[in-house]
Amino acid sequence: MILSTKTKVYDALVVGSGASGGWVAKELTEQGMEVLMLEAGPPRIPTRDFTEHVWPYQLKFRGFGDQKALLEKQPIQRLCYACDEYSHQFFVDDHENPYTFPIDKPFLWIRGRQVGGKTFCWARESYRYSDYEFKAASRDGYEQDWPFSYKDLEPYYDKVESFIGVSGSREGLEQMPDGQFLPPMNLSCGSVLSKQIIEKKFGWRVMPDRVANLTVPHHGRPACHYCNQCQRGCYTASYFNSPAVTLPAAARTGRFTLISDAVVSHLLMNEEGKATGVYYIERAHRNQREARAKIVVLAASALESTRILLNSASRRFPHGVGSSSGALGHYLMDHFTLEGAGGILPSLRSSKRELTGNPAGYLIPKYVNTGSNTNRDFLRGY
């Protein structure tokens, strides 16, 4: 049985409460629209779920976690560097949230089903694309340009950075445009030494990471206190996450409603092929419900939003909504998280240690195929 929301029709319905969903809710409510947000997971409570100030000796497994339990409940999520005894609560239980893949093509799907999505444990790297990306085809003749340029997006980059707070240095690089930055994070002693060596030996630019961590108070949020455990939550909301930044902005309008533990299954469509709402399931009680709105925004992550579209097959859309070309669900582009190496710098050996942890490192901007530095045997850059 499907339980209706008593015919209430919202101006907009947003599925997902992470980086994109939170921003959509903020913008629409501030423009006077009444918005309903559905989130598949529960809310997070800082006093229960945040562990950035917990010491290893306070945990049973000293931060490494119960490996047997992790292997049983989170065999995929535990492979993410940020999923451990401190932060496993920000990742799904793989057995409660199963998915399939071809045996010869395994796919490790890292997921965070909660109010805020994965904004609790993202790396906060916040860079602007440039026309080296948007107009790359015009430079090297491969494939097609994007249908817009950096200048088209620049005012939106400005708006987002000014609101959420992004720290960084202004470098004047065409391939990595400057933004509306707060003061940059200081480089660590090791980073300063690396910068000196890299710039002298290779001539590459080295600069502080551009990250959504506050270095000064910003819109009522205090600056980072440099505990350097961002993936465990942040009591002071000193890095961007939607429950601390965009969702409160939406709530302050008085036109925002959030329903958590609401798993959307598919879209509700009318005879004209327009979305008029969604069907969702109450995670705790398994009740099926429907919610209606004039506009439906899917912001549930690339894969979850695609799932909802594919599940919305009908006589009019036999292969799912938005799938007339057959491309929906194909051509996924993923990215690597990190590769690492370590070493000891003899010149920095000391009995003293740096006083603070630094939640940001340094960045070497793109230097291949920029300006007159071209390599026709290698497309694009890194």
Q: Is the pLDDT of residue 183 over 90?
A: yes
Q: Is the pLDDT of residue 20 over 90?
A: yes
* CB atoms near residue 314 (< 10 Å): 12
* CB atoms near residue 365 (< 10 Å): 16
The residue whose two tokens read 């009318």 is 270
- Decide which of 379 and 180 is more confident: 180
Q: Which CA distances in Å does 216 have to 33, 184, 220, 239, 269?
A: 32, 10, 10, 11, 47
- Give me the domains of the chain, ranges plus CATH numbers: 9-326+351-363 (3.50.50)
Which of the 8 DSSP states describes residue 281? E
Q: Is the pLDDT of residue 356 over 80?
A: no
How many residues comprise the chain?
382
What pTM does this model have?
Answer: 0.92
User: Exposed, middle or buried, 62 (CB in 10 Å: 0-12/13-18/19+)?
Assistant: exposed
pLDDT mean over 319-332 = 91
- Give the residue ranges of DSSP H helices in the chain: 19-30, 46-49, 67-73, 131-134, 136-140, 150-164, 189-201, 246-251, 302-311
Q: Is the pLDDT of residue 1 over 70?
A: no
pLDDT digits (tens, 9 = 90+) for 143-177: 999 999 999 999 999 999 999 999 999 999 999 99
Report yes or no: 232 and 49 within 8 Å, Cβ to Cβ.
Answer: no
DSSP string, 125-139: B-----HHHHTHHHH
Q: What's the chain's average pLDDT? A: 92
Quick one: pLDDT at residue 351?
Answer: 67
Cα 300 from Cα 21, distance rounded (Å): 7
Q: Which sign does the torsion angle of CA 88, 93, 98, 102 carry?
A: positive
Q: Is the pLDDT of residue 354 over 50?
A: yes
Structure token digits, residue 210:
């551009």
Structure token digits, residue 163:
């609101």
Furthest-apart CA pair in the chain: how many Å?
A: 73
Cα 322 from Cα 359, distance rounded (Å): 40
Cα 84 from Cα 60, distance rounded (Å): 12
Question: Residue type at 263?
Answer: V
Q: Is the pLDDT of residue 5 over 70?
A: no
* Percentage above 90 pLDDT, the chain: 78
